[in-house]
Amino acid sequence: MSLTDENLQFKDLNGSIPTRPFRVGILPVPGFPLMSYACTVEPLRAANLLSRRPLYEVSHFSDAAYAPSSGAARVERSFAPGAHDDLDLLLVVAGGDPFAYRDDAVFDWLRQLDGKGVLIGGVSGGSVILAAAGLMAGRRMTVHWEHAAALAERFSEVLIERRLYVMDRDRVTCGGGTAPLDLMHALISGHCGGVFARLVSDWFLHTDIRAAAAPQRGGVAERIGSHSPHLVEAVATMENHIADPLSLTQLALVAGVTPRHLNRLFTDGFGQSAMAYYRAMRLDVSQRLLRDTPMSVAEIAETTGFATPGHFSNTYNQHFNIRPQADRQAHAARLARVG
């Protein structure tokens, strides 16, 4: 397929042919996920290369001269936040613990960009930062699946969807990982048409372009290593009822078998009863919340369906051989040593 002006019809959000590049700002929060970042900016670079003209102009914003990534790479700053706001789109890329990020000056800058009509987005944990800045109230959004439960707990006003990316009016949010490739395909397709967007995706061998509504995680069958419809139905139901655990009888009813048969399936497949598997799942969620959010032990106990903080603490200790608060402190100490 050859590239011609006929299949490259770049238009801005108002449908007119622009006289300048589409200006994209990237705010890489220190520790940002390198894969998510690359999948965000590389399609824009490829679009410029393949079109043989500057369709996109990318600028990086950081307080320091360089923003460190999750790996050895770091990104050089173009401008300090607030020093330049002549943008069409600003994307916040964050990973690690985005709930710990608190920079009032950056929050003010994001709100100022919003007031100027700039399209604002978050990639991976960047969506959490937009919510913390008060920019996602009443809007549909997505976030990396590991942050979804804590985000819902902290910001009840946001409307979280388990999708690869969500475009809602003047907001764009993306789950991270490789999902920005699909988001950028949609963005470039809207500007330049589907034919050219496909050329950009093919440049990265990204031939299986996913829809926005595609799930962030592999299917239950793939994750648990079983295609038993009863097990798949039971585990999927458990995942949707972390805060309000169901009984064995209720799970068996959903799975379409007797409680005794469901327990036999779990014992044969996972070496433990259905309710033991369910409890371990809830405890795994509680450990992620404990290590990655500032939620109190009582809040985590409630979020993961335990009757009291005391019951939660005892069950956590039996499962992980450490009390919740001690686990949080030990994890913080490990991060401090690594950092």
Sheet holding 165-168: strands in order across? Answer: 56-60, 22-28, 89-94, 119-124, 171-174, 165-168
Q: Which residue's entry shows tokens 């700053």?
A: 77
Distance of CA 135 to the CA centre of its chain: 16
**At 12, is the pLDDT very low, low, confident or very high (cuts 50, 70, 90)?**
very low
pTM of the model: 0.68
Looking at the predicted structure, is the pLDDT value of residue 11 above 50?
no
Looking at the predicted structure, is the pLDDT value of residue 108 above 90?
yes
Q: Which residues of 120-145 are buried (b: 16+ CB within 10 A; e: fewer)?
A: bbbbbbbbbbbbbbebbeebbbbbbe
Mean pLDDT of the chain: 87
Number of H helices, E strands in the chain: 14, 10
Strands 74-76 and 66-68: antiparallel
Residue 135 pLDDT: 95
What is the separation, in whole angstroms, between the first and last Cα of the chain? 48
Q: Which residue's entry shows tokens 């770049």?
A: 10
Mean pLDDT of 276-289: 93
Looking at the predicted structure, is the pLDDT value of residue 4 above 70?
no
For domain 5-203, the CATH superfamily is Class I glutamine amidotransferase (GATase) domain (3.40.50.880)
> In terms of DSSP H, where are the helices of the chain?
34-51, 104-115, 126-132, 145-154, 179-192, 194-203, 220-224, 229-239, 248-255, 259-270, 274-292, 297-303, 309-320, 324-338
**At 8, is the pLDDT very low, low, confident or very high (cuts 50, 70, 90)?**
very low
Q: What is the pLDDT of residues 126-154, one digit of tens each?
A: 999 999 999 998 788 999 988 888 888 88
Q: Which residue's entry shows tokens 């500032």?
A: 294
Alpha-carbon distance 161 to 150, whole Å? 14
For domain 220-338, the CATH superfamily is Homeodomain-like (1.10.10.60)
Q: What percent of the chain has pLDDT over 90?
A: 51
Q: Residue 241 to residues 171, 234, 305: CA-CA distances in angstroms?
A: 29, 11, 9
Q: What is the pLDDT of residues 183-238, one digit of tens each?
A: 998 888 878 877 788 889 888 888 777 766 666 767 667 778 888 888 988 887 88
Angle between helix axes 274-292 and 145-154 (nearest 10 degrees) is 70
Q: What percent of the chain has pLDDT over 70?
A: 91
Burial of 238 (0-12, 13-18, 19+ CB in 10 A): buried
Residue 84 pLDDT: 83
Q: Secondary structure of the chain: what % helix, strand, coil (to 5)?
A: 50, 15, 35
DSSP 8-state class, residue 100: G
Alpha-carbon distance 222 to 215, whole Å? 13
Looking at the predicted structure, is the pLDDT value of residue 9 above 80?
no
Domain ranges of the chain: 5-203, 220-338
Q: What is the pLDDT of residues 74-99, one digit of tens each?
A: 999 999 998 888 999 999 999 988 99
Residue 214 pLDDT: 67
Mean pLDDT of 311-315: 96
Q: Which two tokens stand for residue 163?
A: 């999708």
**At 2, is the pLDDT very low, low, confident or very high (cuts 50, 70, 90)?**
very low
Mean pLDDT of 21-37: 94
